Structure 1
Amino acid sequence: MSSLFFVLVCAPNLGAQQFYGTITGTVTDPSGAVVPNATVKVTNVDTNVTSTLKTNRAGVYVASSLIVGTYRVEAEAAGFKKAVADRITLEVGATPKVDLSLAVGRTTEVVEVTAANAAILQTEQTDLGQTMDTSRLQELPTFSNAGRRPYNFLTLAAGVTQQTGCTGAGTGGGGLGSCGNDGNVRISGSRPRTDDNILDGASITPPVFGGQDVQPSVDAIQEFRIEQNSMSAEYGKAGGLIVIQVSKSGTNQFHGSAYEYNRNENWDARNYFEDPKVRKSPYNYNEFGGTIGGPIIKGKLFFFTDYEGIRQHGDTVGPNTLVPNSLFRSGDLGTLCTDNGGTFDASGICSGGNGQQIHDPNMNPIPFNNVANATTPVSLVSQAFLAIWPNGGSAIGIGTNSMTINPPFSNTTNRFNPRVDLNFSQADHLFTAFHTDYSSGFNYDIILGPEGKSISRGSNYAGTAGWTHTFTSTTLNEFRFGWGHHKGDRMPFGVGSVSPSAFGISGIPNCLSSVPDTKSGAACGTPGVAVNGYADFLNSGMLYEPATTLHFSDTLSKSVGRHSLKMGGQADHYSIDNYQPNDVVGNFHFTGSVTGNAFSDFLFGVMNKGSVQVQPKFVSSRAWSYSLFLQDDIKLTPKLTLNAGLRWQYDQSFRELHHGDAFFDPCATLYSGRDPSCVPHWEQFGVGNTPDTTLDPSKHQFEPRIGLAWNPIGGFVVRAGYGIMHPGYVGHGRAGDGQPGPNLLLGSSLGKGTPWDSPLPVSVPPSDTTAPIPVNFLVSFSSWAPRKQYPTYTQLWNLTVQKQFGRDTTAQIGYVG
């Protein structure tokens, strides 16, 4: 018993790597005694790459830094038959234990061993997670409006939910959904957009929306893992959710595939808002592609690549559109009186019942509610809008008709994912992979039709490279490099074909002259027009936002006696550029606050409020983030394992290069107490004594991790873990810190009664990139946060019980916080 106890306690374990796995075990003779110096071969059955090891004095072997796949383990020693355990599935981050017993005999004889002791219970680690291999990724239904994507599996994991009101990843527009680029999930109640995404060992999380820089196709992914709680100290920069993806590599055999998926209106149910008496609106979604992989040099150099295309088009179906009827369009609003129980006297004044009397902009009553009788002329700008406002439909209320308008949309996506692996030697494995995801799309404003096209595009790339060197069977080193680039842009409705000046609106600056990759000119889109009770003319705003991430990391793993040590560091550089004036071509609202009726306000061209925004400076923000960690997994007894780790993280505050950002400071000396009577004010980054950063960075972001795994009897494990994590960057500040908006917007707020026929009082701020913005301009920013504050952090804990039934089934119950 003491010998067996010693073997179990001293079993080395290098632990799970970020996208590798480890196979370990003990070699014994028929009496149960350990067999030292036995030869063990661990072979990947797909690539035929073999790692040859020797058992130590305790009869233990450790094969680490193995890519995911299916393996065969062979053990042999003089005087014994060869023992073979086949069909061992290795998942990302897993450490299956495969023990082999040698029978007495000649080495030319082979004994097949069932690898049942490669248990699916987690007896060594306390992290919570879920892994899906390539077969499950391809066989389970993943189809949605966003296509077949591994991210569709996220909500299948316990505790993962989609943020309310989000649509997931969109099509076109850089793959952005209503809440960002796949950053819209919550894990066990955590904040959305605080996950970290790791592809082939390198972080590809953009600092703008969270989520991932690219969306590899399902057929390019070997495994997809979700880490949810109590993870190792090597993981950080997240609020509790780590998404790990491993791309496919080539094998010793050539393999390929081709596929096509189609959805159309013939297979879909009728939309809720569609008239059952008419033909369903057209819709077609076509996803197609193929893969190929194989050896360049058998057993040494491999390749894999794929292509995926998406073509989606159809009609947007929604509630019917409300438009003014022919009487209102002609200026006759008399039914506001008569249809509400009122009557006109001889002078045309409405009275009685709920009849409504309207007035001109000078507050004079209009006889018979007909603007032709007013002394104030109707607006020429309003007449220009009215000329393109759809006419027709059926009556639905006073002055209102209902029309069915289903404007078309179209989206195109192309993805390409090549990868090359080189087994330079038994001790060195190198790989590089590149992923592209380009999308573009358009949709129409329901009022403007084809002239009101809004175009959105996204160019997304990610490259990863790695080198793993094994010094000995107990020591290895991993280096990772990652590069991610995400660029999304969106043009206002009608850009290139419609402009404010086409309607007679003057005073709005040229909105495109300072934006890269866009055409400058007067046709910069239609203004947003909202008339209460009717469909709006849309103004989608403008967006140009490229973001780039660089990732460097190095990890050293060492097994010493009872301890499995891992230590390393990580450095990430973030670069964000932003141009996003939302009201660049103006937004105007007509509510009835001037004449007594919203459509009457519109006819006279007197708004309740309006705004025109100008972003004078292109915002360019830069920051570095650094982290160090130490993890020690200790085998305290044969049945009890302690996981202990500490991580330190330092996040620089984003530095703005062009003074194009601003924040509100209620009192610049609030924390020093030197000026209790200070006046609240706004400050522009890098101007005067104002720093060019958002926050004072903290050097105290320590993240302890601790866990216990207890295996009192076979097939039963009790695990508990606790840890602290600091989320990474979201937007231009740290996650959850309520940072200022990503840009400084200047412009004019137009008050009640402002006529849009006259030149709008919009001031044009300076266009250079260094001069400070004059303080007399209207400043817009979304929020405020004090400079001195402790960064947001998340505490994670869990207590779980696992029970194994048979060879392939486990059940788990636990409390997760």
Structure 2
Amino acid sequence: MRSVPRILTVGLLLALSCAAAFAQGSQTGGITGVVSDPQGAVVPGATVEIISDATGKTERRLTTRDDGSYTATLIPPGTYKLEVTATNFKKTVVKDVAVRITETARQDVTLTIGGVTETVEVQATESLINTASPVTGTAISAQTMERLPLANPNVLFLLSLSAGTASEPTDVRTAGRGSVDVNVNGGRTSNNSVTLEGVNVNDFNLAHFDTVPLPNPNVLQEFKVATSLYDATQGSKGGGALGLVIKTGSKDFHYDLYWSHRNDALNANDFFFNRDGKKRPKFLQNVFGGTASGPVPGAGGFWFFNYQGVRARNGVDPNGSTTNPIVQNFATNTDGTTTAALLASQFNLNVAQIDPVAVKILNLQDSRYGGTYLVPRRGQSACNNTLNGVTATDPGNFTCQFAAVAPVTDNQYTISYDRFWRAGNEKLTGRWFWDNGSIAKPYGTDTSLTFPRTDVQKNRFLSLNFTHIFSPTVVNELRAGYSRYIAAQSPIDPISLADIGATRGNSSQFPGMYRVSVTGLFSIGTGVNDDRATTSNQYNLVETFSWVKGKHSMRMGGEGVQYQLNRFNNFSVRGSLTFGGTGTQANAFNNCKNDTNDCTAFQNFLRGRITAIQSAFGDPARNFVATDYAGFFQDDYKWSPRLTLNLGVRWEGMSFGHDKLYRAGIYDPALAAAGKNPFQFPEKVNLSGFTGTPGVPDCALKNCFDGNNWAPRVGLAWDIGGDQKNVLRAGYGLYYQRLSNQNILQNSLAAPFTVQPLDNRANPVGLQLANPLASIPAPSIIASAYIPSATFFAGLRRVSGSGPLDVNDPGVGPIFVNSAGQACLNYGGTATNCSINLASFTSAPLDAYTPYTQQWNITLQRELWQGWAAEVGYVGTHYIGGLGIWDPYQSSVVSASSPLTVKDINGNSYTITNNTVNNEELRHQILGLSRKRGARFSGNIGQAKYNSLQVTALHRLQRGIYFQAAYTYSRTTDNVSGSLSTDELNATRNGQNGANIYNAQNNPQQNYARGDFDRPHRLVVSYSYDIPVPKDSFLDNQVFKGWTVSGITTYQKGLPFSVTDSTSGGIFGTAAGTAQFVCSSIASAYTQGTVEQRLARYLNPACFTTAPIIPATGFAANAGATGFGNTPRNAFRGPRQANWDLTLMKRFHLGERHQFQFRTDFFNLFNHPVFRFPSTVNIATPATFGLINSTAVPPRLIQFGLKYSF
């Protein structure tokens, strides 16, 4: 499937009219039809003039062909009138012909016999039947957007109205413009494309919608998500193709002023806040602005202008305004302070074992969480006094719910200009968009007791389009575009290292305290990923040549885009300390005092016994560049009046980015197996005396450009009865996915450019909190002490316990040395230049390639009655080559009957028959490599299949009625789903693995199951209705006229999820496993009752256990040596979801030219809580296992809006 016959290649190259480009397809539509006389005979030679309602200018002038047909391509979306003239016929004017993006409107015209000086006016009847192509998806016009409820000025919240789309219900709690992620026909959220005015504005960095330039709804003329089988003019992704088009100027002056207001006095309280007796958080918002348009006096042309401002105070943002920590209950004095003596007594420790820094952390005074101390005390106003998990050996824990206000500011400006020349045969269009937004988040991310952060986002967009009409059938369009965004996150460190009596090597640059995380309980500090900024620039050139010749309507051209991505990320420079349970937990509380390794997580924190350290140093800045090209040829061939064939091919030439200073490294397993340095670097690297590897390309992969991406597109549309009432459509297409830069970014974070030590400690040492990150140096361009060299196995060492050095002893581990024979850091020595993963890294495959999606569909459209239509169809996709994280070299499982023998550099042989945590690196297929120290491999391992029945009933907005009901019955299966809303190589929500596979890391297919975003049933109904009033009745007045009711209703299944076990996979060096299932059936694991009755225990914990320990023959214990659980991936599903949003609108007409509009929007009309699946699905944290503590949408919100139009 990665090539097509040579004839397509030759045909495409002959068709291209200029240098190729890379962007999405067209932002235009078309009009076609047949002109006939009253008896139905065709009228050749008739003149058809297409005139824009907005500007009054002629967009195209055509002559009907011998068969009476006409076709106009590359028509901007909007409404037009057709003026049709022919000898011996009256002039016929067809009004309100709607053109929508990516669609060809059908408008047949019947002439009336008479003189040409006479005029007949006809109202266009918009056909909902597509007789031209198999593309699916529904366009949303500006008039429809204005009517539908929209809590934030973000049209992306309307993307999931069409069949085949799926998303969480609209959640406007995220501060700013909100976060929207949509799955289209089972595709990943990163596999959707976005164009603004036909210009590619996809995020090269993360491949999500959060940073794309987004004009507000008052600016947009139309948008559409083409969900499947879009033609060869569009590409770069294989999911949904979103096109946004900005309004043009107008021939008359028009002005609008608008304001909407949301006040928490009108809002309902959050379900969980209300349940726990806590007051309603702040949630205020004001959106205000105005638009103006008109002609340009003297100079000619038409202009459009919009300004919009947003001012909000958000106290409900789950990613910046709210946090829900679980806090350990511990003893305090009457003033709230605690002491080492109190803690030692309560947690069965000796006073000398208590780390003084731990006591200082617990006594930090800070009022941001509503009390005197940073770490909350029981009885604090925002905390639940009820203790959880109290036992004879555990004083229990309690939960808190904190909310603070995040001020939000946004200002955006939009300008349009359109100018015609040469009697309308040339047209210049310009669009400019400017947006600055900021959010002062009281709480950052990745931490439950987190510190503040300020987020700034700026967008710039400019497009210029030049259209030249060579003849009525030959049109050329040249488009240039530029887009830029700046996204910066700046943390505020209220607590310094000095405040807690600690130090760190880079404290002069980063004085803030390190992050502290107690497993199953709270975490404190700045998130490891909260200090970063990105500046992205994209330059875009698009050429489209359209030629209508006989029965052929051809478009050909090329596209190109250059990406520039400048970023820095001070990832984990402050360090992150994890305190987990160690040893055997059954008696840990009692045994920890005796200096055994058996300690609970909180005991380890008190003792300063760190079980994992994450840190980073080096140069945090990167400057990436990449250039892509594409070419396309599309022919819509009218085989007969009833049958249209769509034949196209697209070539995508996609490059993998590279850093301008060539800071990237890649791991070559073949070199490691040969005893050579497996890390390779671009040949051009030359930094501080460090040079690259001869022959390695700029991006460090084997090939930095993937040009083997040929995508055929075929389709048909058959008008079954010839009356445009029943149409059968079908097609097949291949679509390649422009990956984000994350794959290459992760390569660039390898040593020595950036070093991310990940130190896991099965037997930690106490009293380490004063200087736990002593090895962190000050920032530098090259971490010279960490330039990797070859690494060798040199023998054994005692890690714990006593006795002879036996490789099968759980307390014995390997020694690795560098090429100079020095023992490596973390292996009994101090050498930092070992090529094995002393530092965390993610390596892309040397032969990485572009993922692709096969799409196919067959649909039947039927016109039900005037203005109404229905569509039923089957849509399928097959996604191949998606990115995922795995370990193709996972450690072998050994036994006495299946031993493994390894040799050290001195020729000594070691026969391994036991699977222990410490000999895992010797059982790894690449000696010494291990996931537990941070080594990760990305690869094109992702595969997904999607099959669906899609049903739509539609009435486009006409005569005051809009209605669309879209139902999808589908099944999505995959082996790795990708992340929901971050980058393509990250985890997803609530502990689900996202881009990582579960269990056996070298067998992605065993991970095959329902996808993370699978929703078998989804119904979304959107509607708007102008309530009629009988003319000349007592109701025919300003009080009763002008009322409109609109709404969006969504019903859908909940998302699937997996039950995990963070203690699993010990013998494989990974904790990426599922739990052990012990009940008779999956259904029996669900607890009984309504969802609200099951919030504390959505699943029965008795149905699960942690993965069993694999015994070590000849030894009494084998601590941590677990396998994987047997629970299938995504075997469970969250609660069903239903949501109603409603709008009531009243229009007042003040004379003929003035209109005043008042509206009230209700979001979550019935205030019904819509729950997510459990926040804790890790069976290793039993106290909160199966707990649902969040909703997918806010409680009922009420919003008022005013608008004045002239």
Task: Give the TM-score range, shorter chain.
Answer: 0.7 to 0.9
Verify: 1:730 aligned to 2:733, yes or no: no
C-alpha RMSD of the superposition: 3.3
Deviation at 1:558, TM superposition (A): 0.6
Q: Could you say if the C-alpha distance between residues 271 and 249 of structure 1 is closer, same or farther in structure 2, counting changes exceeding 3 Å?
A: same
Closer, same or farther: CA 530–84 of 1 in aligned 2, 3 Å: same
CA gap of 1:753–1:504, structure 2 versus 1, over 3 A, is: same
C-alpha displacement of 1:48: 0.8
Structure 1 counterpart of 2:523: 536
The whole-number CA distance in structure 2 between the counterparts of 1:747 and 1:335 is 34
Q: Distance in 1 between matches of 2:465 and 2:522?
A: 54
> Which amino acid is the alignment partner of residue 429 of structure 1?
K
- Give the whole-Å Cα distance in 2 for the aligned partners of 1:530 and 1:759: 14
Q: Name the counterpart of 1:438.
A: 436
Maintained 8 Å contact 1:306/1:417: yes
Question: Do structure 1's residue 626 and structure 2's residue 629 form an aligned pair?
Answer: yes
Distance 2:160 2:539 in 1: 29
Q: Within 5 Å, which residues of 2 pair with 1:313-712?
A: 313-315=313-315, 316-317=321-322, 319=324, 322=327, 324-327=329-332, 330-331=338-339, 357-358=348-349, 366=350, 371=351, 374=352, 378-380=355-357, 382-383=359-360, 386-388=363-365, 389-390=374-375, 392-394=377-379, 396=387, 398=395, 405-425=402-422, 426-445=424-443, 452-492=451-491, 494-495=492-493, 497-509=494-506, 522=509, 524-532=511-519, 534-540=521-527, 541=529, 542-591=531-580, 593=582, 596-668=599-671, 677-678=674-675, 681-685=678-682, 686=685, 687-689=692-694, 690-695=696-701, 696=703, 697-712=705-720
Amino acid at match of 1:660: R
Structure 1, gaps ≥5 residues long: 1-15, 339-355, 359-365, 511-520, 670-675
Percent of aligned pairs with the same amino acid: 24
Q: Distance in 2 between matches of 1:219 and 1:424?
A: 28
Task: Give the aligned partner of residue 361 of structure 1.
Answer: none
Displacement of 1:300: 4.6
Q: How far did 1:387 drift?
A: 2.5
Greater shift in the superposed pair: 713-722 or 753-762: 753-762
Question: TM-score w.r.t. structure 2 length?
Answer: 0.57
Structure 2 counterparts to residues 743-758 of structure 1, below 5 A: 745-749=754-758, 751=761, 752-753=764-765, 755-758=768-771
Structure 1 residue 773 displacement after superposition = 5.5
1:386-438 per-residue CA deviation (whole Å, 9 max, x = no partner) reads 23234543253517566554333222222222111112241111111112232
Contact 1:382/1:605 (8 A) holds in 2: no
The one-letter amino acid of 1:65's match is L
Residue 717 (structure 1) aligned to one of 727, 730, 750: 727
Q: Which moved more, 1:74-83 or 1:648-657?
A: 74-83
Distance in 2, matches of 1:679 and 1:168, equals 53
**Aligned CA distance change for structure 1 residues 325 and 285 (closer, same or farther; 3 Å):** farther
Contact 1:407 1:446 in 2 (8 A): no
Quickly say closer, same or farther: Cα 1:84–1:557, change in 2 above 3 A.
same
Compare 39-48 and 551-560 and name the one that shifted more: 39-48
CA drift at 1:772: 9.8
Quote the offset at 1:702 in angstroms.
0.4
**What SS class does the counterpart of residue 418 from structure 1 fall into?**
strand
- Equivalent residue for 2:1037? none
**How far, CA to CA, are the matches of 2:562 and 2:414 in structure 1?**
24
What whole-Å deviation, never above 9, does each CA across 1:56-109 have from its counterpart, x for those lacking one? 444333344332222111222333222221221222233223232333322222
Please give the secondary structure, in 1, of the residue aligned with 2:363.
Answer: helix
Matched-pair contact (CA < 8 Å) for 1:546–1:577: yes
CA distance in 2 between partners of 1:761 and 1:317 (Å): 34
Rounded Cα–Cα distance in structure 1 between residues aligned with 2:249 and 2:356: 68
Pairwise CA distance, 1:534: 4.3
Amino acid at match of 1:587: S
Contact 2:54–2:248 (8 Å) recurs in 1: no
Aligned partner of 1:209 in structure 2 is 206
Residue in structure 1 matched with residue 91 of structure 2 by the alignment: 82
**Comparing 75-84 and 764-773, the one that deviates more:** 764-773
- Which letter does structure 2 place at the counterpart of 1:393? R
1:619-638 CA-to-partner distances (Å, cap 9, x unmatched) read 22111111111111111122
Shift of 1:564: 1.2
State the 1:727 CA deviation: 0.6
Q: Structure 2: how far apart are the matches of 1:54 and 1:202?
A: 31
**Distance in 2 (alpha carbons) for counterparts of 1:446 and 1:234:** 42
Instruction: Provide closer, same or farther for how the CA distance between residues 357 and 637 of structure 1 changes in structure 2, counting only shifts above 3 A.
Output: same
How big is the shift at 1:219?
A: 0.7
More displaced stretch, 772-781 vs 481-490: 772-781
Q: Summarize the Cα distance change of 1:38–1:171 in structure 2 as closer, same or farther, 3 Å threshold.
A: same
User: Conserved in 1, the CA contact under 8 Å of 2:514 and 2:525?
Assistant: yes
How far is 1:253 from its partner?
Answer: 1.6
CA distance in 2, matches of 1:93, 1:42: 18
Partner SS, residue 157 of structure 2: helix
1:247-282: CA deviation from partner (whole Å, max 9, x where unpaired): 011111222222222223222221123256453222
Residue 806, structure 1, aligned to residue 865, structure 2: yes
Query: Quick one: structure 1 residues 71 and 169, their matched pair in 2 at CA, closer, same or farther if it must change by over 3 Å?
Result: farther
C-alpha separation between the residues in 2 aligned to 1:571 and 1:89? 31
CA contact (8 A) 1:75 1:84 kept: yes
Report the Cα distance in structure 2 between the residues aligned to 1:95 and 1:27, rounded to whole angstroms: 16
* 2:175 aligned partner: 171
- The corresponding residue for 1:255 is 254
Q: Displacement of 1:504 after TM fit?
A: 2.6
Q: Deviations over 1:488-521 (max 9, x none)?
A: 12123x34x54334433222315xxxxxxxxxx6
Preserved contact between residue 248 and residue 304 of structure 1 (Cα < 8 Å):
yes
Within 5 Å, which residues of 2 pair with 1:752-767?
Answer: 752-753=764-765, 755-758=768-771, 760-764=773-777, 767=780
Structure 1 residues 581 and 629, CA gap change in structure 2 (3 angstroms): same
Deviation at 1:578, TM superposition (A): 2.6
- Equivalent residue for 1:158? 163
Q: Deviations over 1:671-692 (max 9, x none)?
A: xxxxx64557333444223433
Match 2:57 to one of 43, 49, 52 = 49
Contact 1:618 1:660 in 2 (8 A): no
Within 5 Å, give how 1:137-286 maps onto structure 2.
137-143=145-151, 147-162=152-167, 170-171=174-175, 177=179, 182=180, 184-212=181-209, 213-275=212-274, 277=277, 279-286=279-286
Q: Which amino acid aligns with 1:47?
A: T
Partner AA of 1:260 in structure 2: W
Cα drift, residue 453 of structure 1: 2.0
Q: Secondary structure at the match of 1:198?
A: strand
8 Å contact from structure 1 (residues 578, 620) kept in 2: yes
Distance 2:720 2:401 in 1: 68
Farther-moved stretch of structure 1 (772-781 vs 195-204): 772-781
Cα shift readout 1:719-752 (whole Å, capped 9, x = no counterpart): 1100001011313449xxx974767541444542
Q: Is the 8 A contact 1:196 1:238 kept in 2?
A: yes
User: Counterparts of 1:679 and 1:664 in 2: how far apart (Å)?
Assistant: 11
- Distance in 1 (alpha carbons) for counterparts of 2:322 and 2:655: 46
Q: Residue type of the partner of 2:646?
A: N
Q: Which runs of 5+ in 2 are unaligned?
A: 1-23, 316-320, 366-373, 380-384, 583-591, 594-598, 686-691, 789-831, 877-1206
| Structure 2 Cα separation of the partners of residues 766 and 456 of structure 1 | 24
Count of residue correspondences: 738
Match of 1:34 in 2: 42
